[in-house]
């Protein structure tokens, strides 16, 4: 019997992604049923990551919510809008698009679809979780980098950068990461 070939554009790889994410406990059954694109899956993974990150107490104020900010054009930006109103601990998720790089004040998470070299120094000590899906972003200041590998979404963590920003990333999340960069003891 000849091996079967998958037709280009069929949803099989994304079903595998959802299955892998489910196995890791990143996605609920309901979320998987509603997912249709890699961008939606990335947005859902970002939401699940937020459950395992703690900001300094003065940043977790229920009245302000949890601000997910985006800068630049990216396909994940639209999918992040589906997170609006969802709860993270005592906070409610809000999503806003920044017109300029210097408007990141108040953001808990900043999603950067492309490198923003001018922001690296400004964000180095800010309590902002920088997330990207551009391949080289861990070297450009991102703390979490999402990638599609073998038909599934994986993520890498730059732990030292997160700690310098005053963020605590749970060891539960770190165990699920493909790679954790950590140089200081």
The tens digit of pLDDT for each residue in 12-62 reads 444 444 444 444 455 443 445 444 588 999 999 999 999 999 999 888 887
One CATH from 3.40.50, 1.10.760, 3.40.720, 3.90.1520 for 12-181: 3.40.50
The tens digit of pLDDT for each residue in 137-159 reads 888 889 999 998 887 899 999 99
Residue 64 confidence class, pLDDT cut points 50, 70, 90: confident
Nearest alpha-carbon partner for 153 in 171, 168, 131: 131
DSSP 3-state assignment of 8?
A: coil
The full set of domain ranges for the chain reads 12-181
Q: What pLDDT was estimated at residue 14?
A: 43
pTM above 0.85, yes or no: no
Contact 142, 112 (CB under 8 A): yes
The tens digit of pLDDT for each residue in 99-137 reads 887 888 899 999 998 888 778 877 877 899 999 998 888
- Cα–Cα distances in angstroms (integers) from residue 33 to residues 36, 42, 98, 129, 149, in the given order: 8, 15, 31, 28, 21
SS (H, E, C) 108-163: CEEEECCCCHHHHHHHCCCCCEEEECCCCHHHHCCCEEEEEECCEEEEEEEHHHHH
């Amino acid at each position: 019997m000849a091996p079967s070939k998958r037709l280009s554009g069929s949803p099989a790889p994304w079903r595998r992604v959802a299955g892998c994410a489910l196995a890791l406990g990143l996605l609920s059954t309901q979320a998987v049923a509603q997912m249709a694109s890699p961008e939606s899956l990335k947005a859902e993974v970002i939401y699940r990551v937020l459950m395992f990150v703690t900001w300094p107490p003065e940043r977790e104020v229920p009245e302000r919510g949890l601000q997910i900010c985006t800068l630049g054009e990216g396909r994940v930006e639209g999918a992040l809008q589906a997170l609006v109103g969802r709860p993270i601990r005592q906070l409610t998720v809000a999503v806003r698009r920044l017109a300029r790089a210097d408007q990141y004040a108040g953001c808990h998470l900043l999603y950067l679809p492309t490198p923003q070299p001018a922001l690296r120094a400004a964000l180095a000590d800010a309590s902002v979780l920088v997330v990207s899906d551009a391949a080289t972003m861990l070297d450009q200041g991102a703390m979490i980098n999402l990638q599609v590998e073998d038909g599934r979404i994986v993520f890498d963590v730059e732990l030292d950068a997160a700690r310098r920003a005053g963020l605590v990333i749970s060891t539960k999340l770190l165990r699920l990461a493909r790679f954790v960069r950590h140089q200081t003891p």
